[in-house]
Amino acid sequence: MPELPEVETIVNTLKNGNGDKPSILAMEIEDTRLLWERSLAEPNPQEYKSCIPGQKIEDIDRRGKFIRFSLSNNFLLIHLRMSGSLDLQEGNKKLSKHTRMIINLKSGWSLVFIDPRKFGRIWLTSDPGKILNKLGPEPLDKSFKTEDFYKKLQGHHRQIKPLITDQKFLAGLGNIYSDEALHNAGIHPLTPSDALSQKQSGNLLQSIREVLTEGIRLNGTSIDWVYQGGDFQDQLRVYRRTGEPCPVCDEPIQRIVVGQRGTHFCPQCQPVI
Q: Which residues are catalytic?
A: 2-3, 65, 261
Phi-psi region of 15 (alpha: psi -120 to 50; beta: other; left: phi over 0): alpha
Contacts of residue 134, Cβ cutoff 8 Å, sequence gap at least 6: 167, 168
Q: Out of 15, 33, 56, 81, which residue is the one contacting DNA (CB under 7 A)?
A: 81
In whole angstroms, the minimum distance from the beta carbon of 157 to DNA comes to: 5
- What is the C-alpha to C-alpha distance for residues 192 and 84, in angstroms, rounded to an integer? 32
Does 167 contact DNA by CB under 7 A? yes
Residues 90-149 touching DNA, rule: CB under 7 A, are 97-98, 116-119
Contact call for residues 117 and 2 (beta carbons, < 8 A): no
The residue among 157, 162, 183 whose CA lies nearest residue 258 is 162
- What is the C-alpha to C-alpha distance for residues 208 and 182, in angstroms, rounded to an integer? 8
Sheet of 99-105, strand order: 29-34, 99-105, 109-114, 85-90
Instruction: Name the one range near DNA by CB under 7 A: 11-19, 139-147, 221-229, 244-252.
Output: 221-229
Q: Out of 159, 198, 235, 254, which residue is the one contacting DNA (CB under 7 A)?
A: 159
Does 227 contact DNA by CB under 7 A? yes
Contacts of residue 168, Cβ cutoff 8 Å, sequence gap at least 6: 134, 135, 136
Beta strands in 91-246 (DSSP E): 99-105, 109-114, 121-125
Residues 177-206 touching DNA, rule: CB under 7 A, are 192
Instruction: Name the one range near DNA by CB under 7 A: 27-35, 69-77, 102-110, 252-260.
Output: 252-260
Site string for DNA, 20-59 (x = CB under 7 A): ------------------x---------------------
In the bound state with DNA, the residue whose beta carbon lies nearer, of 168 and 199, is: 168
Instruction: Name the one range near DNA by CB under 7 A: 70-78, 102-110, 162-170, 205-213.
Output: 162-170
Does 272 contact DNA by CB under 7 A? no
Contact call for residues 14 and 60 (beta carbons, < 8 A): yes
- What is the C-alpha to C-alpha distance for residues 122 and 179, in angstroms, rounded to an integer? 28
Does 224 contact DNA by CB under 7 A? yes
* Residues that contact DNA, how many (by CB under 7 A): 43
Q: Cα 45 vs. chain centroid, distance in angstroms?
A: 26
Binding site for DNA (CB under 7 A): 1-3, 6, 38, 64-65, 79, 81-83, 97-98, 116-119, 156-159, 162-163, 165, 167, 174-176, 192, 220-227, 240, 258-262
